[in-house]
């Protein structure tokens, strides 16, 4: 009993309650009048009762931001430079800060803020404003210090590629004892713009293993904000999206040294007008702009065996990826198909095939050759295909069965299931649709100028994006292209590859097998029910920014070879190559309660992985049992039970913190909630 009391005392003490202040987390980007920034910056002024706003930085700043706040009705707005610990710890600084109704932390380097301000009068002053109902806002590096856990950037800026290769490296460094405003949240900025989903996923994953806590990673795009009320409800504002990653009951992690696997990390990506409940880790409001996405619609499986590679460099294809393909298929006659004008690059491939003694033919495609019967006859002789080129609209002409060459290719690939190897970007045409014009310039996604095109259709339910981290200039385009393509076309599987990675999609096995040094990333949207998109237009002649909202996405990442089944009823199922890990060595219970805090009643939702006797009890802050909610045998699955805040005698319990315990023969799970009378 003493052990149980200690357990619940620790549980209740660690319970995070939202304080009384407001948070505005801004992902960076230039502010301007009559633009994306008006809504969140006006919100800051309104929630501060049009009071005084202090703009904090370690640099010398212009008056642009203070004047901007004043234009929305702030009574006063001033810059305050705090660039050393000695200045930060002055009583006069504290005295200035507590006169503000809002604190705004500018961009820069968050390590400076942590290093200079942690444990000083500056930190006390910022907390005073927040705890007394004020607003604390931050942009870019200022956003990075608003969470319960901060990525410090102490050892430099982590990039997604390095973080994916090894999430446990020292460059991913945390601070969990500075400001601590939004419970269980780690913020990241410039999210899609700088392709930072890889590093945020790695941060959430690493923190689980170093602390045992399952935090939310919240990535905020540039020119975008999430504004959070004291009850934990955050509203998305601005031009793009807020992306929330977390581990839940359907997620499993495993690690063996630096080898790791993430199965089914939950992701909700939200655009303007969507609201998220950070207290209960769920979407709170979906605006009427959202459209439904029916998860029960017919599934379209791969029509043939497909190999996809992560890069365009043909010389690098001749290693393990192409060798794997050639050793797995009938190479009696290989059909090498490419768009006309790509001959110089194709010569590297044909030289390799010639040196290996392979029999092959080459077919340069254009509108004329698609109509030639001789092209169709050549295609009919092939026992396997290799497709490559730099003009995807020409390659995708193979889907046109009204053309002799297209008709023959579909007959061979779909009807006769002749395997196909796609090199680099050409693999995008393997899906029913693909996103093109991704590499025209840096701003194609931001300006809404990427295009949605019809693919060959060998795996219609897939959107594919290779060369993911190949060039930082295209991070935003390549990152957003995949989800935008999935949203526009209502596709359920998204595949990211980088450089020397490759994967095989099996038609008969209905599976995806990954290989390569860089983790393959699979995005599963089979449980997505709502989609939405940005309406922000960057300027004249442009279209809406190509960033989307999708709920209930699942991400699968591993730096070891993995096979994923496409036959499961909900999310992808890992089949082999799994490293044993912490969460996969045991059965589990996962639970959550809603609403929380509550006045009348709350419901505990929980998921069981195996059958057994289940007992659920409620305890007060002293560790004393006040109510037994359920006892009995239950089968695996999702269950729920409601508690009306009464004890065994039927009396209403007083306001305060309470905890529940779910007990099975295998293990226990617990949670806590707040009664507010």
* Domain at 589-675, CATH class: mainly beta
Confidence of residue 584 (pLDDT cuts 50, 70, 90): very low
Query: Quick one: pLDDT at residue 144?
Result: 98
pTM equals 0.83
pLDDT digits (tens, 9 = 90+) for 348-404: 999 999 999 999 999 999 999 999 999 999 999 999 999 999 999 999 999 999 999
Least confident of 171-185, 258-272, 654-668: 654-668
Nearest-angstrom CA–CA distance, 28 and 220: 8
Judge whether residue 532 has pLDDT over 90.
yes
Phi, then psi, of 111 in degrees rounded to 5: -65, -35
Lookup result for tokens 């053309």: 403
- pLDDT of 259 reads 87
- Can you tell me the mean pLDDT for 661-670? 69
The per-residue pLDDT for 330 is 96
396-407 core/surface letters (b: 16 or more CB in 10 A; e: else): bbbbbeebbbbb
pLDDT of residue 406 exceeding 90: yes
Q: Where in the chain is the domain with CATH 2.60.40.1930?
A: 589-675
> Is 524 a residue whose pLDDT tops 80?
yes
Residue 651: pLDDT above 60?
A: yes
Rounded to whole angstroms, the Cα distance separating 443 from 477 reads: 7
Report the pLDDT averaged over residues 530-538: 97
Q: Per-residue pLDDT for 672 more than 80?
A: no
When pLDDT is cut at 50, 70 and 90, the band that residue 573 belongs to is low
Per-residue H/E/C for 313-366: CHHHHCCHHHHHHHHHCCCCCEEEEEECCCHHHHHHHHHHHHHCCCCEEEEEEC
What does the pLDDT average to over 430-454? 97
pLDDT band for 14, please (50, 70, 90 cuts).
very low
**Predicted confidence (pLDDT) at residue 426 exceeds the cutoff of 60:** yes
What is the model's pLDDT at position 10?
Answer: 43
pLDDT for residue 12 is more than 50: no
486 pLDDT exceeds 60?
A: yes
Please name the helix (run of DSSP H) or strand (run of DSSP E) that holds residue 486, with its range, or none: helix 475-489
When mean pLDDT is compared across 32-41, 341-350, 585-594, 666-675, the lowest value belongs to 585-594
Q: Which long-range contacts (CB under 8 A, 24 or more apart) does 347-356 make?
A: 348/314, 348/315, 348/318, 349/314, 349/317, 349/318, 349/386, 349/388, 349/423, 352/318, 352/322, 356/326
> Which whole number is the average pLDDT over 636-648?
82
What local confidence, expressed as pLDDT, does residue 482 receive? 98
Q: Which residues pair with 263 in a beta bridge?
A: 252
Summarize pLDDT for 136-161 with one digit per residue, the tens: 999 999 999 999 999 999 999 999 98
Q: Which residue has the tokens 């009762």?
A: 49
Kind and range of the H or E element at 586? none
> What is the pLDDT at residue 567?
78
Residue range(s) of every CATH 3.40.50.880 domain in the chain: 18-144
Query: What pLDDT sits at residue 578?
Result: 40
CATH 3.40.50.261 fits 18-144, yes or no: no
**Residue 565: predicted pLDDT:** 87
**Residue 591: pLDDT band with limits 50, 70, 90:** low
Whole-number percent of the chain with pLDDT over 90: 70
Q: For 244-299, how does the pLDDT look when each residue is reduced to its tens digit (9 = 90+)? A: 999 999 999 998 888 899 999 999 999 999 999 999 999 999 999 999 988 777 88
Asked if the model's pLDDT at residue 583 lies above 50, the reply is: no
Name every residue whose Cβ is closer than 8 Å to that of residue 589 and which is 6 or more positions away in sequence.
Answer: 606, 607, 608, 609, 662, 664, 667, 668, 669
- pLDDT of 372 reads 97
Cis peptide before 597 (omega within 30 of 0): yes
More confident residue, 632 or 151: 151
Dihedral-angle region of residue 577 (phi above 0 means left; psi in -120 to 50 means alpha; beta otherwise)? left
What pLDDT score was predicted for residue 570? 55
State both tokens at 342.
């790509």
pLDDT band at 17 (very low <50, low <70, confident <90, very high): very low
| CA angle (320 as vertex; 318, 321 as ends), nearest 5 | 75
Most trustworthy range by pLDDT among 11-20, 307-316, 513-522, 541-550: 541-550
Q: Residue 517's pLDDT is what?
A: 74
Least confident range of 117-131, 444-458, 563-577: 563-577
CA gap 235, 139 in Å, rounded: 16
Instruction: Report the 10 Å Cβ neighbour count for 517.
Output: 10
CA distances from 41 to 50, 113, 359, 536, 622 (A): 11, 22, 65, 17, 44
pLDDT at 64 over 70: yes
Question: Is 9 a residue whose pLDDT tops 50?
Answer: no
275's CB contacts (< 8 A; 6+ apart) are 233, 234, 235, 236, 283, 284, 285
Contacts of 568 (CB under 8 A, 6+ apart): none
Which residues, in sequence order, are bridge partners of residue 553?
267
Q: What's the burial of 374, exposed, middle or buried (CB within 10 Å: 0-12/13-18/19+)? A: exposed
Contacts of 629 (CB under 8 A, 6+ apart): 604, 616, 617, 618, 641, 643, 660
């Amino acid at each position: 009993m003493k052990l149980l009391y200690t357990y619940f005392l620790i549980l209740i003490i660690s319970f995070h309650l939202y304080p009384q202040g407001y948070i505005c987390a801004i992902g960076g980007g230039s502010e301007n009048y009559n633009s994306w920034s008006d809504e969140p910056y006006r919100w800051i002024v309104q929630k501060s009762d049009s009071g005084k706003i202090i703009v904090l930085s370690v640099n010398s700043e212009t008056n642009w931001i203070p004047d901007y706040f004043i234009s929305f009705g702030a009574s006063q707005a001033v810059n305050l430079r705090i660039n050393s610990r000695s200045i930060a710890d002055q009583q006069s600084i504290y005295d200035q800060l507590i006169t503000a109704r809002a604190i705004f932390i500018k961009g820069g380097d968050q390590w400076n803020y942590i290093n200079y301000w942690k444990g000083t009068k500056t930190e006390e002053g910022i907390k005073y404003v927040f705890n007394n109902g004020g607003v604390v806002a931050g942009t870019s590096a200022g956003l990075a210090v608003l969470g319960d856990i901060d990525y410090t950037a102490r050892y430099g800026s982590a990039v997604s590629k390095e973080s994916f290769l090894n999430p446990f490296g020292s460059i991913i460094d945390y601070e969990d004892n500075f400001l601590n405003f939004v419970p269980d949240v780690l913020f990241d900025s410039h999210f899609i713009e700088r392709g930072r989903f890889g590093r945020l996923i790695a941060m959430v994953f690493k923190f689980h293993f170093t602390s045992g806590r399952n935090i939310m990673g919240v990535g905020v795009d540039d020119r975008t904000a999430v504004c959070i009320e004291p009850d934990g409800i955050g509203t998305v504002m601005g031009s793009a999206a807020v992306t929330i990653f977390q581990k839940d009951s359907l997620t499993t992690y495993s690690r063996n040294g630096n080898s790791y696997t993430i199965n089914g990390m939950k992701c909700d990506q939200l655009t303007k007008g969507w609201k998220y409940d950070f207290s209960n880790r769920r979407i709170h409001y979906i605006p009427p702009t959202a459209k439904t996405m029916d998860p029960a619609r017919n599934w379209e499986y791969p029509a043939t065996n497909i190999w996809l590679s992560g890069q365009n460099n043909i010389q690098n294809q001749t290693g393990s990826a192409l060798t794997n393909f050639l050793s797995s298929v009938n190479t009696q006659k290989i059909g090498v198909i490419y768009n006309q004008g790509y001959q110089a690059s194709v010569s590297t491939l044909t030289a390799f095939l010639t040196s290996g003694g392979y029999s092959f033919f080459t077919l340069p495609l254009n509108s004329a050759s698609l109509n030639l019967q001789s092209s169709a006859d050549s295609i009919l002789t092939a026992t396997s295909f290799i497709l490559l080129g730099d003009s995807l609209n020409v390659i995708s002409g193979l889907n046109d069965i009204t053309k002799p060459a297209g008709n023959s290719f579909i007959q061979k690939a779909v009807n006769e299931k002749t395997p196909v190897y796609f090199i680099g970007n050409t693999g995008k045409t393997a899906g029913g649709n693909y996103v093109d014009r991704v590499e025209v310039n840096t701003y194609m996604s931001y300006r809404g100028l990427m295009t949605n095109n019809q693919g060959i259709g060998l795996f219609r339910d897939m959107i594919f994006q290779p060369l993911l981290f190949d060039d930082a200039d295209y991070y935003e385009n390549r990152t957003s292209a995949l989800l935008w393509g999935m949203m526009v076309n209502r596709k359920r599987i998204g595949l990211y590859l980088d450089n020397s990675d490759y994967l095989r999609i099996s038609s008969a096995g209905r599976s995806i097998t990954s290989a390569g040094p860089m983790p393959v990333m699979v995005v599963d949207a089979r449980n997505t029910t709502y989609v939405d998109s940005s309406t922000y237009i960057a300027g004249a002649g442009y279209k809406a920014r190509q960033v989307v909202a999708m709920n209930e996405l699942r991400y699968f990442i591993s730096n070891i070879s993995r096979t994923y089944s496409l036959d499961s009823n909900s999310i992808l199922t890992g089949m082999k190559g799994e490293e044993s890990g912490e969460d996969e060595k045991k059965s589990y219970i996962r639970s959550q309660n809603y609403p929380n805090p509550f006045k009348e009643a709350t419901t505990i939702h929980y998921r069981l992985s195996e059958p057994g006797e289940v007992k659920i009890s409620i305890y007060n802050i002293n560790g004393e049992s006040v109510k037994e909610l359920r006892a009995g045998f239950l089968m695996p699955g999702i269950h729920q039970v409601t508690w009306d805040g009464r004890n065994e005698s039927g009396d209403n319990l007083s306001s305060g913190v309470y905890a529940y315990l779910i007990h099975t023969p295998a293990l226990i799970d617990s949670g806590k909630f707040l009664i507010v009378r």
